Structure 1
Amino acid sequence: MEIIALLLFLFFSFTQPVLCADICSPAYCNSIHGPGIRFPFRLIGRHPERCGYPGFDLSCNNQNQTILNLPRSGEYVVDYIDYTQQVILINDPDHCVPKKILNFSLSGSPFEGTYTKKYTFFNCSSVWTEYTSYDVEPLLCLSGENYTVLAMSSYSLPQQIPVSCHEISHVSIPALRYVSQYWSSMEAREDFQLTWDEPGCTSCEVNGGICGFKGNTVLELGCSRPPNRGLPRSAKYGIIIGIGIPGLLCLIGLACYAFGRIRAFSHRSRLSTTELPTITISQQPVVRAIGLDGPTIASYPKTVLGESRRLPKPNDGTCPICLSDYEPKETLRSIPDCNHYFHANCIDEWLKLNGTCPVCRNSPESSMATPCSSMSSSYSLSSSDHH
């Protein structure tokens, strides 16, 4: 939460000065085809007055064209601005420059022509095809169905002017980018080239600076470096401190944790490798029950039950292996020492797999009964049943 609060403080602290510094940044009527507008020009409605020099106001029309309004010649479309050479190229929005040229004047504006050329306009009462021999083309935007308007350079007029043509005007206009002897319909769509002397920002622009006013009260010019895009340097330092240091601490913590885990794992691995022989030696051997051989099992005493089914232990009436009650005439076998009785078939199969008593788990291997004692026991149990 402290980091978030610091970032919010830095954002709101440094955003406003950046916006104030960018109010005179370049603006566009058409960012794709239109020129960038900055000092000495300003775009009305987007730049405050202090962003432009007096007389250099531009505007946008409903077609997103950049418009320059000359006080005595009307509106022109701005096609290009060269801030280093201090040159601006303008054209007629209606693509009929000759119509405006008849009343063209730069008076009252800070601009002047790079150089000028004089033209003479003629109004001819017949159609234009009659004048092809004069190597001229008509100004179609000024011509009508019954007359043709021609414009010729005043410096190279033909010696004989057609009788049907009479002079209507002499004009002096800024030279076009492409100058020819006659003003053709193609040339009528070319730009006019204007220039300005004041304010003089050429040296500043050539050195990569941005020209503008030094203060808010006087028209004194200054040259500054282009503003840095994004946050100012102090804001960047604040963000680096606010985010970089906690991030660095987190990385250090993760590195320490990983190093500790690796070290602990390595220690356990070495410990296991060192103690493995000791652990193996100290383990107790696994004791497995091994069955008895046939002669040993056959040596265990047998008993044939009489009608009373009585055994030396009154509670031994059921075989612990098959859980069936003993019946008369069944043959039982007992295990020496513990004297537990079982069906002979049941205990024989058991002892082949396990050498211990199924009831008390004692091993009878060391207690070997003799055949005589077995016969004696069998006889005694049978005799007692007859009495």
Structure 2
Amino acid sequence: MELHKTIALFFLLCYLISTTVVVASTGCFTSACSKDEPLIRFPFRLRNYQSLDCGYPGFNLFCDALNRTIIRLPGSPGEFTIEAINYSTQELWLNDRNNCLPQLLLNLNLSSSPFLGVYYQDFTLFNCSFDHTTLKLNPIGCLSGSNYTVYATSSMRGFDLLSKSDCKSIGTLPVPVQWPFFEQVVSSDLSGDILLTWDNPDCRICASRGGRCSLKRTAFNREIICENSRGIAFPRGARYAIIVGAGVPAMLFLIGLLCFISGRIRSCRRRAQPVLEFSSAVSPQPIVFTGLDGPTIESYPKTILGESRRLPKPDDNICPICLAEYQPKETLRTIPECLHCFHADCIDEWLRLNASCPVCRNSPMCVHGTV
């Protein structure tokens, strides 16, 4: 019995040591400037909080005095606030920390940054030297003054209207808008968030499989690796060391435990006089449901919620998992069989562990015939 205890303690010690190695080798944790700000992980990193190896070059962020997430784009003046980040589609939404986005758009240059616009819309700016309130247009307040008003339009109707009103054209800006405009905008104050994306590093396939990218330094360059869903990746030699360090004690412990149980069973049989009758029927094994794989989860439709917050089921305006009300610009995912909507991050984590809808408990796996 003392031998069994010794083996068990030895196994526990090896497990704790291996766990400590795992934690120490993964020093890059998901961060945020505050609970209401976007989560920050690779390829982004928080300056002064995370090491250089936690992010990719050009993806440095910092928190300002108001705990807002800030990014400086190379080649562009001013600082942008990050309103949201979608790591699965590699998109981020930006605005101006000083509430004058058009001022930054006048000098926006993304050529030397790792980012580019998803959709572009050309807006022509006009400087009007008199009051145009009768035109019922939206002025750009932060660019206007007491004796002049600035307007922006992307339509021929707005262009003609302002040109005939003796307004002077300032120039035309390609604005990285959030979605393509099928109808041209007569007037806009250009205060809405701009949408950018990045192609390098490309971690979309890794994210679709439930993993996360990270940066591995080698002797000659930087290598992007895809970690598993728990965010842990080891070199092959380290994996072998952990398997040997934890597997061998575990095997010895199991052998000792089986010997102990076998000895107790033989002792009980010797003391038992009557012959025990056992049923020949084999009890059914329970069916174990596991979560869905990454490609199956990514096949479910996603929606970036607009200002109207229009959903397939209008009454479902609260995520059943986190119980938070849906907000514009949030990414939602819908289970197609039952049309129940959730925050994409919430339902993705759920479906990796549970192959059923958390509301109606219908199993998408059964519907697809994969159980």
Q: Deviations over 1:56-84 (max 9, x none)?
A: 11222222222111122321111222222
Partner residue of 2:123?
A: 119
Q: Deviations over 1:186-212 (max 9, x none)?
A: x513x1111122222222222222223
Could you say which structure has the larger radius of gyration?
1
Deviation of 1:30 (Å):
2.5
Q: Output the TM-score relative to the length of structure 1.
A: 0.53
Residues 150, 80 of structure 1: alpha-carbon distance in 2 compared, 3 angstrom cutoff: same
Partner residue of 2:81?
A: 77
Kept in 2: contact 1:209–1:223 (CA 8 A): no
Partner residue of 1:131?
A: 135
Which one of 198, 206, 209 corresponds to residue 207 of structure 1?
209
Which one of 88, 91, 94 corresponds to residue 90 of structure 1?
94
Q: Output the TM-score relative to the length of structure 2.
A: 0.55
Kept in 1: contact 2:126–2:170 (CA 8 A): yes
Q: Is 2:39 the counterpart of 1:64?
A: no
Three-state SS of the structure 2 residue aligned to 1:84 is: coil
Partner residue of 1:150?
A: 151
Deviation of 1:6 (Å):
5.4
Letter in 1 for 2:175: I
Q: Deviations over 1:28-66 (max 9, x none)?
A: 222444233222x22222322222221111222222222
Kept in 2: contact 1:10–1:238 (CA 8 A): no
Kept in 1: contact 2:155–2:185 (CA 8 A): no
Residues 3, 126 of structure 1: alpha-carbon distance in 2 compared, 3 angstrom cutoff: farther
Three-state SS of the structure 1 residue aligned to 2:79 is: strand
Kept in 1: contact 2:18–2:246 (CA 8 A): no
Which one of 171, 175, 178 corresponds to residue 177 of structure 2?
175
Q: Is 2:30 the counterpart of 1:53?
A: no
Residues 244, 104 of structure 1: alpha-carbon distance in 2 compared, 3 angstrom cutoff: same
Once residues 96 and 58 of structure 2 are traced to their aligned partners in structure 1, the CA distance between those partners, rounded to angstroms, is: 19
Three-state SS of the structure 2 residue aligned to 1:50 is: helix
Q: Deviations over 1:94-151 (max 9, x none)?
A: 222112112221131011111322212112122241322xxx2111222233321111
Three-state SS of the structure 1 residue aligned to 2:24 is: helix
Three-state SS of the structure 2 residue aligned to 1:117 is: strand
Partner residue of 2:275?
A: none
Q: Deviations over 1:190-240 (max 9, x none)?
A: x1111122222222222222223344334454443326489x986887998
How many residues are treated as equivalent by the alignment?
A: 259
Once residues 142 and 2 of structure 1 are traced to their aligned partners in structure 2, the CA distance between those partners, rounded to angstroms, is: 76
Once residues 32 and 257 of structure 2 are traced to their aligned partners in structure 1, the CA distance between those partners, rounded to angstroms, is: 41
Letter in 2 for 1:51: C
Kept in 2: contact 1:211–1:224 (CA 8 A): yes
